[in-house]
Chain A
């Protein structure tokens, strides 16, 4: 496969392939963080996670149109506004859903699966009715398209770098929130023992709602970022949901560090295999390895030791 290439060319390709792996890693982290919070910290299986992402993508679409017509001078920075609004929109919808649906089902995790799956179908049909069945094209500012030439041969996609920076930023914020804020302390307390947490005066209902909202809000930001690399249509969320669950379950529900480690492992495996084999085979082998490891370690890579 590599016969007839100079060392320089090979170095360039491997460097770019390394970046490809890191970009995939960042995409996985962005997809999975919101779900890890909701699934890991609250035990809710949110099948509508992809639809919350797509809500963020549609918000980005609307904001880009609004900027294009009303504020064309500021078009190059609309993306940042869009991400904030995507966070707020998805977060608000998340809190509404928690209030109307999820809080009645906390003791019945399998029912949350069905209920949120139904929710995902409802949301898809709403998107279809509002925005049409076809995918919408989100115009990305010019500076975010194209690639950054590091050397003559090594080119790094700018949107990939953007996703990487965003993934790091959100991971750090989540870490700070979980381990340095009062809310994070309460979430962890509830996760360890809900009854006891309530007994010592933590408002578990409010904390749950906020947690679900933040998880969905992060999904919205991820969806907003993915307009740069993927499609925005009523069913686009379905493209991400399987990978998202794979990352969270493999990492060990309840461990944010596990989610990141798992995203790294899966993305690197997939990206390397895609390069040396083919796309479909890479997927098959990755899934087989994940299934194998989960058979040996059903709790995932990193698991909290809890007294049940």
Chain B
């Protein structure tokens, strides 16, 4: 890992030399290129993957049509940016990355079919893809059967650990526990109303939240827990219930179009998040979602995740610059977009550590891979294929960005099968 131990600041001085914005962040990452002739194809690719003397092909598998396109577009953009930057600095083992992009079309069987196509027909060396847990569960058997490698970017419910997946987002305990402790300790919150859309991620997350509140937080209680069907647009009844119970915190894990309806109606009903009574705490609203909800409706609510676009560190500033240069100045970057950006970099680091594109060797090399140059700050792959990462709390501003008000002192260990929380 000598490539990555290079300090960041000297890299910054190359800014003047490198004109392209894409190359700018790239300069922060492992600036020393490896030459392809030092790694003969026959030696680095013993299993017939799509690797030539000058290129290596990977897959991108997200929904660019259908209802999930809203969320997955950012991930595709981040992955393409990372690939472009890696190529600008010489590629992986001296080989340029080419990618084949497939559309999962927001349909889980389509995801499985396209994953099979990428692995069996295209023989891609790795796949950056999926967003919802449902799509990940659909492709999982395909990746395990054909021994592929998936880099999955979304924060999710945990309870999974596959040898064929690297989870670059946070699992539920990483995201939830620090936020609950923070709101309890700094705001003195004691009572919580849990609310969510009715599917696996909000339900599992709220289960963990409830266990933590009841078993690990002194004198705290859950005063309500509720789920609404995906796409539900009428929240007036539950808002009345919340007013009746008077919780200190509304813990909301509402997603998609429902999110927009929920925040608009919450504000219309006189619960203004800026007044912080009750405090609105969420793990499902990134900068991406705020664009649809409207900053004025979300302002003052708190989000708990690992990345915010407003993070003030040189890696992130360069990343945001490069992203906007590539995709437009009005782009916003949410937690998952940043996690998707890590995928190609983590894969590259693992391949170069292994000195091989072979899936088995990449898997073996993955635990312990460090990425000090990630926009969110230093991350490291755990034995369980999740990332060590910091958890942060941000307060939403009217302009749709977050002010970071808290971050954990240390990296939070990923724990996909938490004891005492099941």
Query: Taking beta carbons and an 8 Å cutoff, which residues of A are in contact with B?
Result: 5, 9, 13, 16-17, 19-20, 23-24, 27, 125, 128, 133-140, 145-147, 149, 155, 157-160, 226, 228-233, 235-236, 238-240, 270-271, 274-275, 278-280, 282-283
Q: When chains A and B are docked, how far (Å) is the Cα of A19 from the Cα of B221? A: 30
Given A139-B296, A280-B229; A128-B237 close (CB under 8 Å): no
In whole Å, how far is A127's beta carbon from the nearest beta carbon of chain B?
11
Query: Taking beta carbons and an 8 Å cutoff, which residues of B are in contact with A?
Result: 64-67, 69-70, 73, 198, 226-229, 231-234, 236-241, 243-244, 256-261, 264-265, 267-270, 272, 288, 290-296
Q: When chains A and B are docked, how far (Å) is the Cα of A2 from the Cα of B5? A: 61
In whole Å, how far is B207's beta carbon from the nearest beta carbon of chain A?
15
A235 close to B238 (CB less than 8 A): no
Given A134-B291, A135-B70; A238-B238 close (CB under 8 Å): no
In whole Å, how far is B241's beta carbon from the nearest beta carbon of chain A?
6
Q: Which residues of B contact A282 (CB under 8 A)?
A: 237
In whole Å, how far is B253's beta carbon from the nearest beta carbon of chain A?
13
The 8 closest A-B pairs by CB, nearest first: A135-B292, A231-B260, A20-B236, A279-B228, A157-B268, A274-B237, A133-B69, A147-B270
Q: How many cross-chain pairs have Cβ atoms below 8 Å apart between A and B?
A: 136
In whole Å, how far is A121's beta carbon from the nearest beta carbon of chain B?
10
Q: Which residues of B contact A274 (CB under 8 A)?
A: 237-238
Known A128-B65, A134-B291, A283-B232; further 4 A-B contacts with Cβ < 8 A? A136-B292, A146-B268, A239-B231, A279-B229
Indicate the member of B65, B267, B269, B290 with the most A CB atoms within 10 Å: B269
Given A134-B291, A280-B227; A239-B257 close (CB under 8 Å): yes
Given A24-B236, A125-B65, A157-B269; A231-B288 close (CB under 8 Å): no
A279 close to B65 (CB less than 8 A): no
B73 close to A279 (CB less than 8 A): no
CB-CB nearest in chain A for B400: A137
Q: Which residues of A contact B260 (CB under 8 A)?
A: 135, 230-232
Q: When chains A and B are docked, how far (Å) is the Cα of A228 from the Cα of B264? A: 7
B294 close to A138 (CB less than 8 A): yes
Q: Which residues of B contact A17 (CB under 8 A)?
A: 237, 240
Q: Which residues of B contact A24 (CB under 8 A)?
A: 234, 236
Q: When chains A and B are docked, how far (Å) is the Cα of A133 from the Cα of B256? A: 12
CB-CB nearest in chain B for A158: B268
CB-CB nearest in chain A for B68: A133
Candidates A13, A19, A145; contact of B243 at CB < 8 Å: A13
Q: When chains A and B are docked, how far (Å) is the Cα of A140 from the Cα of B267? A: 12
Q: When chains A and B are docked, how far (Å) is the Cα of A62 from the Cα of B291? A: 15
Q: Which residues of A contact B267 (CB under 8 A)?
A: 145-146
Q: When chains A and B are docked, how far (Å) is the Cα of A211 from the Cα of B414? A: 60
Q: Which residues of B contact A278 (CB under 8 A)?
A: 226-227
Q: Which residues of A contact B227 (CB under 8 A)?
A: 278-280
Q: Which residues of A contact B259 (CB under 8 A)?
A: 231
Given A13-B243, A134-B292; A147-B261 close (CB under 8 Å): no
Q: What are 19 A-to-B residue pairs whose CB atoms are below 8 Å? A: A13-B243, A16-B240, A20-B237, A24-B236, A133-B70, A134-B288, A135-B291, A136-B292, A137-B294, A139-B296, A155-B269, A226-B233, A230-B264, A231-B258, A271-B236, A274-B237, A275-B241, A280-B229, A283-B229
